[in-house]
Amino acid sequence: MKKDIQIPKVVGVYVAIVNEYNEIYKTQDWNAYIINDKNVDIDMVIIVTSGYSEEKMTSTFRKKLDRLPKKSYAKIELMQEKLFALNNTFKVSFFEGNTMFDKTYLFRKNTINLKALQPLPLMPVKGVLVK
């Protein structure tokens, strides 16, 4: 019975952490984004984030997007630098048509830093990307 369950693979949806200038507060901030590089809109996007290590665990943050249009991105949250010493997970669930997709994106501890920046799909900035 378990072998009959089809779990579709998530392709074209990414989570990125971007270091960008905040015009309002005149600071360099780290922000998490979800990127939809698909050629279709995705609906009912639910993102659950948390950080953890052997000794510490953060509170859980949840965000819902009714729709993320094709070839677009949206900000998830501002991230404090002290969180980068933890493993940070982003559990993303969404619908594409009538099919539900689910994937956990993991940024391992100390992998989010300025040396790890790379070009991102669709975004005009560099960031740390998990596919």
The pLDDT tens digits of the residues spanning 71-105 come to 999 999 999 999 999 999 999 999 999 999 999 99
Of the candidates 6, 16, 52, the residue with the CA atom closest to the CA atom of residue 37: 16
d(CA 81, CA 72): 26
In the block, tokens 């665990």 appear at 57
Q: What percent of the chain has pLDDT over 90?
A: 94
Model pLDDT for residues 7-41, shown as the tens digit of each residue: 799 999 999 999 999 999 999 999 999 999 999 99
pLDDT at 1 over 70: no
pLDDT at 4 over 90: no
d(CA 112, CA 128): 6
Question: Strand, helix or coil at 4?
Answer: helix
Return the pLDDT at 6: 75
pTM above 0.85, yes or no: yes
d(CA 97, CA 67): 12
d(CA 86, CA 48): 16
pLDDT band at residue 2 under the 50/70/90 scheme: low
pLDDT at 55 over 90: yes
